[in-house]
Amino acid sequence: MPEDSRKHLGWGKSHRIITAEEVFGFDRLASPNANEALELVGRHGPGFKPPSYHDIREKYLKQEMDQTMTLLEEYNPKGTVFLSSVDTSNMSKTADKVFEILDAIVERIGEENIVQVVTDNAANYKAAGQLLMKKRKSLFWTPCAAHCIDLILEDFEKKLEVHQVTIAKGRKITSYIYSRTILISMLRHFTNRRDLIRPAATRFATAYLTLGCLNDHKMQLMTMFTSKQWSSCRFARIEEGKRIQNYVLDNRFWHDVTICIKVAYPLIKVL
């Protein structure tokens, strides 16, 4: 059998072993990186000992991270730097005007020193970004990821009824308690001085984090609204206080809180 045929049969057998044992998926073998790795193994010859699972996830991953950070430091040795601000309170923020401002900053810094421009995701900023990329061919405009996620959370609240109703009830509970000193004191007694409101980087994330805080203190809140301190309080005898108490003691409300935070929390973690 010719040498080329023997090599081809040998590779075919190895190929079947590699794919059947899930070392590489069929699609992975089309990757230039996979081909390069196999070529390097072939150059080593018989007796090649692959790195261990521990070496890959610890030693070599750390080396790759260190190399990546070194490359980044070449372009930004000082980290995040505040350059300047522009007072736009007296101007109409049209797409053309935003484009003028962004373009002037690019001109000041130097187009060759800029890779990406990140802005708000509003329509005027999006249009300005498109104009900027049309003029400056070497840079890219992208919307702010945090703003995009906040818009998704806003859509959850506005377009999903269970989210809209549950967040509204959660706000009523927190605002009712925090607008009355005696109830704040009572709350802190039952929650060991923990708060129910957790600020976040964006407006709509705060709404879901507050639901999370309510859920974390579900038992303490239910205990508070069935306690002697509450029943002896004057707020327990008025209509609004009774309505808040019903929200807290309603199992359906807590079920809906769980649904809302399960949907929103994976997105909030990205912020």
Q: 121-131 pLDDT, tens per residue?
A: 899 999 999 99
Chain position carrying tokens 């206080």: 241
Buried b (16+ CB within 10 A) or exposed e, 57-73: eeeeeeeeeeeeeeeee
Q: 11-69 pLDDT, tens per residue?
A: 444 544 444 445 555 666 666 777 777 777 777 778 778 788 888 888 888 888 888 88
The average pLDDT across 151-177 equals: 96
Compute the chain's Rg from CA coordinates. Answer: 29
Dihedral angle computed from the Cα positions of residues 154, 156, 162 and 166, in that order, rounded to the nearest 10 degrees: -40
CA 236/CA 178 separation, integer angstroms: 15
Mean of the per-residue pLDDT values for the chain? Answer: 86
CA 196/CA 190 separation, integer angstroms: 12
CA 212/CA 218 separation, integer angstroms: 10
With residue 117 as reference, give the H or E element that holds it: strand 116-119
Q: Report the pLDDT value the prediction gives residue 11, as an integer from 0 to 100.
A: 42
Q: Describe the crossing of helices 251-268 and 145-159 by its angle, rounded to 10 degrees.
A: 160
Which of 57-71, 143-157, 203-217, 230-244 is predicted least confidently? 57-71
Q: Does 1 have pLDDT greater than 50?
A: no
CA 220/CA 173 separation, integer angstroms: 14
pTM of this structure: 0.63
Q: Report the pLDDT value the prediction gives residue 79, as an integer from 0 to 100.
A: 67
CA 159/CA 161 separation, integer angstroms: 6
Q: Report the pLDDT value the prediction gives residue 17, as an integer from 0 to 100.
A: 44
Q: Report the pLDDT value the prediction gives residue 13, as an integer from 0 to 100.
A: 45
Within 8 A by CB and 6+ apart from 107, the residues are none
Q: Describe the crossing of helices 203-216 and 251-268 by its angle, rounded to 10 degrees.
A: 130
CA 138/CA 135 separation, integer angstroms: 9
CA 95/CA 127 separation, integer angstroms: 6
Q: What percent of the chain has pLDDT over 90?
A: 56
CA 38/CA 30 separation, integer angstroms: 12
The average pLDDT across 111-126 equals: 91
Q: What percent of the chain has pLDDT over 70?
A: 86
Residue 149 and residue 221 in contact, taking contact as beta carbons nearer than 8 Å: no
By three-state DSSP, how is residue 163 classified?
helix
Q: Report the pLDDT value the prediction gives residue 81, as an integer from 0 to 100.
A: 77
Residue 210 and residue 174 in contact, taking contact as beta carbons nearer than 8 Å: yes
